[in-house]
Chains A and B, each alone.
Chain A
Amino acid sequence: MERISKSPLVIYQAHLDKGELAYQWSLDAQKAVFYPRVICPFTGSARLEWRVSAGLGTVYATTVVHPAREGAPYNVALIDCDEGFRLMSRVEDLAPEAIKIGMRVKFRVHRPSGDEPPCPVFVPAGSP
Chain B
Amino acid sequence: MDGLQRGSVAIVGVAESDLGAVASEMSSIDLMAQGIHRALADCGLGLRDVDGLLCATAQSRTSGLALAEYLGISPAFIDTTILGGSSFMFHVSHAQAALQLGLCKVAVIAYGSTQRTIGRRHASVREYNPYETPFRPFLPSTAYALAASRHMHQFGTTREQLAAVAVAARDWALLNPVAWEKKPLTAAEVLSARMISYPFTVRDCCLVTDGGGAVIMTTPERARSLKKPPVYVLGCGQAITHANISSMPDLTVTGALRSGRAAYAMAGLGPTDIDVVELYDAFTINTILFLEDLGFCQKGEGGSLVADGRIAPKGDLPVNTNGGGLSYCHPGMYGLFLLIEATRQLRQECGARQVADCETAIAHGNGGVLSSQSTVILGTRATL
Beta-carbon contacts under 8 Å, B239-275 to A: 244-247, 251
Instruction: Write out, one digit per residue, whether chain B residues 131-166 have a CB within 8 A of any chain A CB (1) or not (0).
Output: 110111110001001111110010000000000000
Query: CB-nearest residue of chain A relative to B130?
Result: A9
- Closest Cβ–Cβ distance, residue B193 to chain A (whole Å): 11
Q: A66-B194, A87-B246, A119-B134 in contact; A61/B149 too (CB < 8 A)?
A: yes
User: Is A29 an interface position by the 8 A CB rule?
Assistant: no
Cross-chain contact B134 with A116 (CB below 8 angstroms):
yes
Beta-carbon contacts under 8 Å, A89-128 to B: 89-90, 97, 101-102, 112, 116-117, 119
Q: In the complex, how many residues of chain A place their beta carbon closer than 8 angstroms to a beta carbon of chain B? A: 29
Separation of A119 and B138 alpha carbons in the complex (Å): 18
Cross-chain contact A78 with B131 (CB below 8 angstroms):
no
User: Is A50 an interface position by the 8 A CB rule?
Assistant: no
- Closest Cβ–Cβ distance, residue B339 to chain A (whole Å): 31
Q: In the complex, how many residues of chain B place their beta carbon closer than 8 angstroms to a beta carbon of chain A? A: 27
Query: CB-nearest residue of chain B relative to A88?
Result: B246
Separation of A42 and B369 alpha carbons in the complex (Å): 22
Residue from B146, B195, B244, B247 in contact with A62 in the complex, judged by beta carbons closer than 8 Å:
B146
Query: CB-nearest residue of chain B relative to A74?
Result: B136
Cross-chain contact A66 with B153 (CB below 8 angstroms):
no
User: Is A14 an interface position by the 8 A CB rule?
Assistant: no
Cross-chain contact A119 with B135 (CB below 8 angstroms):
yes
B135: A residues at CB distance < 8 A: 76, 88-90, 119
A67: B residues at CB distance < 8 A: 138
Residue from B137, B150, B251 in contact with A76 in the complex, judged by beta carbons closer than 8 Å:
B137
User: Is B93 an interface position by the 8 A CB rule?
Assistant: no
Cross-chain contact A63 with B149 (CB below 8 angstroms):
yes
27 A-B residue pairs with CB within 8 Å: A34-B131, A35-B131, A61-B147, A61-B150, A61-B153, A63-B145, A64-B197, A64-B198, A65-B137, A65-B138, A65-B196, A66-B197, A73-B195, A74-B136, A76-B135, A76-B136, A76-B146, A77-B146, A78-B245, A88-B131, A88-B132, A88-B135, A88-B245, A101-B150, A101-B153, A102-B153, A117-B134
10 smallest beta-carbon distances between A and B, as pairs: A63-B145, A61-B146, A64-B198, A88-B246, A119-B134, A66-B195, A101-B153, A35-B131, A61-B150, A88-B132
* 8 extra interface residue pairs, beta carbon distance < 8 Å, beyond A65-B138, A66-B194, A88-B137: A61-B153, A62-B146, A63-B142, A86-B246, A87-B131, A88-B131, A88-B245, A97-B198
Using a CB–CB cutoff of 8 Å, the interface residues on chain A facing chain B are: 9, 13, 34-35, 60-67, 73-74, 76-78, 86-90, 97, 101-102, 112, 116-117, 119
